[in-house]
């Protein structure tokens, strides 16, 4: 058995240097937002987006005018996508049951599901207006019952993008801001003179947005680490090599640092993809060509393996955000694979379907986080909170055990909270 890197991405040292630069910039930015509030947020908006309105929050009148700019056909597409996302989120919500059990006479334990009370949804729009990201965060939070949903997005070509704002409004956002990048995420989490802080931040973004969320975790909750997007395709000799190549390029166009990986047993597939991907990239419009060209050059990988088991192991080690399987033994891979953000089974589906409108959420773990977490879903907006009730009679056993265990640990004050109840209810310890 062997694993051969026919094409390899940047080395770890280069990646670490890039990550450290991002970390330092974000750390300083968040400190300045905390110190200066609105004035620094405005300074960053002017610097990065050339955008400085009287208020970054859109009024209802401004929202209505932007919604009116969107064609009926585009609104119908937004409705279709949001219906798919909402239907799947509602089905997931039904699976989250509250419980109450009596573990022994007089000892009643349980948990309730309560939505997070305020959520900030970041929707990218700097290079591409990511209309679908509004569905994934805002609609899902709405289904969870979050009472305050705020959403922010960068200006697109100098002004709010009408389709993104429409998707936010139709999805259920209560407040909409036009703020991008670190300043948008930081303002929602830290709060400013005009923006009340939220309890949780969700949404995808570039390396700076992802790093901002990482540094803010603890001050607020986050959905997951959702940095530059990733795709991996598992393909055997039965796969259509043209389709494999198209799918790799399709995800690489997100940005210069978006990894695209092929895991295969077929040298023929590998060779075809290596030749065809640059051709497909060259045929794209300027911005997608620039993004996907850099991504494939610096982050693309083609890995040749001997067996299906070897491919599965490599894939689980990478834990890709999006994972397509185009093989003859689809069920084996479905059963065997353990680490990924979202799985696309068979050539009939593709990452773009999940990204845009099929209904599964596209806010997914990257950089190996699929080893310990799944993607955004309605349950991420739900706090599962435990409770307990007891009868006086249950104290005879529970109170005595608590006092003994506490004394084993040297925690006398803990022990006496059991003792006092045992005495009051007429039990000796």
Closest of 380, 384, 344 to residue 360, by C-alpha: 344
Burial classification of residue 150, based on how many CB atoms lie within 10 Å of its CB (0-12 exposed, 13-18 middle, 19 or more buried): buried
Q: Which residue has the tokens 């109170």?
A: 399
φ/ψ (deg, to 5) at 426: 85, 25
Residue 254 known to be catalytic: no
Which entry of 322, 324, 347, 362 is annotated as an active-site residue? 322
What CA–CA distance (Å, rounded) separates 69 from 62? 11
* CB-based contacts of 375-378 (< 8 A; 24+ apart in sequence): 375/224, 375/341, 375/342, 376/136, 376/137, 376/140, 376/202, 376/223, 376/224, 376/226, 377/89, 377/92, 377/140, 378/89, 378/90, 378/92, 378/93, 378/96, 378/140, 378/143, 378/144
Which entry of 175, 211, 321, 347 is annotated as an active-site residue? 321
Question: What is the Cα 357 distance to its own chain's centre?
Answer: 16
Show the tokens assigned to 294.
């850099």
Residue 321 known to be catalytic: yes
Closest of 267, 251, 270, 257 to residue 297, by C-alpha: 257
Name the residues annotated as catalytic.
321-322
């Amino acid at each position: 058995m062997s694993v051969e890197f026919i094409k390899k991405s940047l080395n770890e040292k280069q990646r670490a240097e890039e990550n450290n630069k991002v970390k330092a910039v974000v750390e300083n930015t968040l400190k300045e937002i905390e110190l200066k509030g609105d004035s620094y947020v405005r300074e960053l908006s002017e610097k990065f987006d050339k955008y400085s309105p009287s208020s970054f929050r859109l009024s209802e009148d401004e929202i209505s005018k932007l919604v009116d700019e969107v064609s009926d056909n585009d609104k119908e597409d937004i409705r279709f996508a949001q219906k798919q996302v909402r239907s799947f989120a509602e089905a997931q919500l039904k699976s989250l049951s509250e419980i109450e059990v009596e573990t022994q006479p007089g000892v009643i334990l349980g948990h309730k599901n309560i939505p997070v009370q305020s959520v900030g949804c970041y929707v990218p729009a700097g290079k591409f207006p990511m209309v679908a990201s509004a569905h994934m965060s805002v609609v899902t939070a709405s289904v969870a019952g979050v009472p305050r949903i705020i959403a922010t997005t960068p200006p697109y070509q100098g002004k709010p993008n009408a389709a993104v704002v429409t998707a936010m409004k139709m999805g259920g956002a209560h407040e909409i801001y036009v703020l991008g990048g670190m300043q948008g995420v930081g303002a929602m989490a830290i709060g400013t003179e005009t923006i009340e802080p939220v309890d949780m931040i969700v949404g995808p973004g570039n390396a700076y947005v992802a790093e901002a969320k990482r540094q803010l975790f603890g001050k607020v909750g986050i959905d997951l680490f959702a940095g530059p997007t990733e795709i991996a395709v598992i393909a055997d000799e039965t796969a259509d090599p043209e389709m494999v190549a198209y799918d790799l390029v399709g995800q690489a166009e997100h940005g210069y640092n978006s990894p695209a990986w092929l895991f295969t047993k077929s040298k023929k597939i590998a060779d075809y993809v290596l030749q065809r991907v640059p051709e497909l990239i060259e045929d794209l419009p300027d911005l997608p060509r620039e993004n996907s060209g850099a991504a494939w050059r610096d982050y693309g990988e083609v890995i040749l393996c001997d067996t299906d088991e070897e491919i599965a192991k490599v894939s689980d080690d990478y834990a890709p955000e999006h994972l397509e399987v185009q093989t003859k033994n689809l069920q084996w891979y479905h059963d065997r694979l353990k680490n990924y953000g979202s799985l696309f089974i068979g050539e009939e589906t593709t990452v773009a379907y999940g990204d845009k409108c099929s209904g599964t959420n596209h806010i997914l773990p990257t950089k190996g986080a699929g080893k310990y977490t799944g993607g955004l879903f309605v349950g991420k907006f739900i706090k599962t909170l435990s409770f307990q009730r007891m009868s006086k009679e249950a104290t005879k056993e529970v109170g005595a055990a608590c006092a003994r265990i506490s004394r084993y640990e040297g925690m006398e004050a803990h022990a006496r909270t059991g003792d006092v109840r045992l005495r009051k209810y007429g039990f000796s310890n």
